[in-house]
Structure 1
Amino acid sequence: MKKLLFLLFIIAGTVTAQNADSLFDSANNLYKNEKFEEAINEYKKIEALEVASSELYYNLGNAYYKLNKVGPSIYYYEKALNLNPLNEDVKNNLVFAKRLALDNIEELPKTVLQKFDANYLQKLSYNQWAVVVIGFSILGSLFFLLFYLTHGSVKKRFYFTTSIISFILLISSLFITYQQYNSYTKNKEAIIFAEETEVRNAPTFNSEKVFTLHEGTKVIVLDAVDDWKKIKLIDGKIGWMIGNELKTLNDF
């Protein structure tokens, strides 16, 4: 029975992958023919299959950008970067998309550690850091095995030292992976989809308006009350807005 279920899962996964590939090719052809709305519909069908990839989100961002839809284009570029922070094409297109957004919000100055984290550690996603962890674990185990099997004192010393360094790097990268994952799950980033929205100082319509945001602005969701979301901007401003006027990048 277990073998049968396993076989069914494999078949279902294969069929899904084939459907996704077929839809992706169809959507790409529509995009090339400048049928952007139709291309988006095809890409969305792939998204509905829960087949996530940086390439899919990148193409969705491009299609929305061609239609001058600021919010969705920035949203999908950001999702593509979440999966692959090293994708230079996404980074470049995101710069152009952000130029269409009306809000120009200056980020608060970062500490040395925050700059190091942003400039180096965040270059890889937590999934990519997990691959680094696996790599160092394999290297450490291999060098320790060579240390155990080798008889020459010089070689033993070299393999032992190298294995210790690998395990130290393993622990360090494991810590970074945990930190990156923890930051990703806690900082629920979102993109404003409403053309214009009023942010208030409390989750009620009769509360005071504190500032206004426009489509395409990225915010961090701190809390939720009924249909309201408590958000924070990169300049430190905090307020409440209607939840259906934004869309979160990382749902947990």
Structure 2
Amino acid sequence: MKKILFLLLITVAQSLFSQSVDSLFTSANELYKNGKFEEAIVQYKAIESKKVASSELYYNLGNSYYKLNKVGPSIYYYEKALQLNPLNEDVTNNLVFATRLALDNIEALPQTIFQKINTNYLQTLSYNQWAIVSILFSFLAATLFLLYYFSYSSSKKRLFFITSIICFLILIGSIFITYNQFSFSKNNTKAIVFAEKTEIRNAPTLNSEEIFVLHEGTKVLVLDAVDNWKKIKLADGKLGWIIASEIKEL
């Protein structure tokens, strides 16, 4: 009886939480439509503070900051939206517009053919989505093998055997891609510069040499951390140290 009551309480709490989030989201959307972007951001942030993560929430936050001409936060939230849904064309298009507002024009280093395949095709799905693909093909390969095993017709056996082998090979490939994308995501922490202007130095100290300057909205790769400093890398290969509080990791 106690277990049933406990489960009922959990269900009611989840229902109330969902209603609360939906209510906040609806209210924030209305504020956005009425041009009250700062108030909308407060409501969206309230949802975010409840540990709710969704592509739609981050997309709306990005739009709100974009309307206020806040380049860093708008790019940051568009990037977060794409992390959850890389195929969202609306986010991709808006990110292009927001990136044009950033002052730093950094040309990326030429990519190898494998890097281009990874960027243009493999990274269109997150490692979680690739994991789902792997699971689907594992079930499909197992089902086809069972059909092959229990079939009596030689033509059907041949068909099921060949298709099960193909699915198994795709399964191995998707597992490899899933692991590769997970490792890439884990070892490549990206961040957005939030400071309007910041000096990048050659060592993690204020008295070290300034080597270049970055502005709000620039995307960097975080390589290392020392005290309140982060070692970063730009798309063009430049390296340097930045004060940690002046960037926000994705």
TM range (shorter): over 0.9
In the alignment, the residues of structure 1 paired with residue 76 and residue 189 of structure 2 have an alpha-carbon distance, to the nearest angstrom, of: 13
In the alignment, the residues of structure 1 paired with residue 166 and residue 152 of structure 2 have an alpha-carbon distance, to the nearest angstrom, of: 21
Provide the aligned length of Structure 1 versus Structure 2: 249
Q: Give the superposition deviation at 1:8.
A: 4.5
- After superposition, the Cα gap between the structure-2 partners of 1:154 and 1:94, relative to the gap in structure 1 and judged at 3 Å, is same
- After superposition, the Cα gap between the structure-2 partners of 1:198 and 1:2, relative to the gap in structure 1 and judged at 3 Å, is farther
Q: Which residue of 2 aligns with 1:210?
A: 211
Q: Which residue of 1 aligns with 2:132?
A: 131
Q: Deviations over 1:111-145 (max 9, x none)?
A: 11101111110111111111111211121122112
In the alignment, the residues of structure 1 paired with residue 223 and residue 5 of structure 2 have an alpha-carbon distance, to the nearest angstrom, of: 45
Secondary structure of the corresponding residue to residue 107 of structure 1? coil
TM normalised by structure 2 equals: 0.96
What aligned pairs does 1:151-170 form with structure 2 within 5 A after superposition?
151-170=152-171
Q: Deviations over 1:20-53 (max 9, x none)?
A: 1111111111111111011111111111111101
Q: Give the superposition deviation at 1:5.
A: 5.3
In the alignment, the residues of structure 1 paired with residue 228 and residue 97 of structure 2 have an alpha-carbon distance, to the nearest angstrom, of: 32
In the alignment, the residues of structure 1 paired with residue 221 and residue 164 of structure 2 have an alpha-carbon distance, to the nearest angstrom, of: 41
Matched residues, percent identical? 67
Q: Which residue of 2 aligns with 1:122?
A: 123
In the alignment, the residues of structure 1 paired with residue 152 and residue 171 of structure 2 have an alpha-carbon distance, to the nearest angstrom, of: 26
| Partners of 1:136 and 1:169 within 8 A in 2 | yes
In the alignment, the residues of structure 1 paired with residue 48 and residue 141 of structure 2 have an alpha-carbon distance, to the nearest angstrom, of: 39
Q: Give the superposition deviation at 1:73.
A: 0.1
Q: Which residue of 2 aligns with 1:93?
A: 94
In the alignment, the residues of structure 2 paired with residue 177 and residue 94 of structure 1 have an alpha-carbon distance, to the nearest angstrom, of: 26
- After superposition, the Cα gap between the structure-2 partners of 1:2 and 1:226, relative to the gap in structure 1 and judged at 3 Å, is farther
Q: Which residue of 1 aligns with 2:13?
A: 12
Q: What is the root-mean-square deviation in Å for CA atoms of aligned residues?
A: 1.3
Secondary structure of the corresponding residue to residue 106 of structure 1? coil
1:22 correspondence with 2:2: no
In the alignment, the residues of structure 2 paired with residue 170 and residue 4 of structure 1 have an alpha-carbon distance, to the nearest angstrom, of: 43
In the alignment, the residues of structure 2 paired with residue 3 and residue 112 of structure 1 have an alpha-carbon distance, to the nearest angstrom, of: 57
In the alignment, the residues of structure 2 paired with residue 186 and residue 11 of structure 1 have an alpha-carbon distance, to the nearest angstrom, of: 40
| Partners of 1:192 and 1:247 within 8 A in 2 | yes
- After superposition, the Cα gap between the structure-2 partners of 1:15 and 1:148, relative to the gap in structure 1 and judged at 3 Å, is farther
In the alignment, the residues of structure 2 paired with residue 160 and residue 11 of structure 1 have an alpha-carbon distance, to the nearest angstrom, of: 49
Q: Which residue of 2 aligns with 1:224?
A: 225
Q: Give the superposition deviation at 1:220.
A: 0.5
Q: Give the superposition deviation at 1:19.
A: 1.6
Runs of 5+ in structure 1 lacking a partner? none
In the alignment, the residues of structure 2 paired with residue 9 and residue 210 of structure 1 have an alpha-carbon distance, to the nearest angstrom, of: 55
Q: Give the superposition deviation at 1:148.
A: 2.1
In the alignment, the residues of structure 2 paired with residue 108 and residue 102 of structure 1 have an alpha-carbon distance, to the nearest angstrom, of: 19
Runs of 5+ in structure 2 lacking a partner? none
| Partners of 1:16 and 1:49 within 8 A in 2 | no
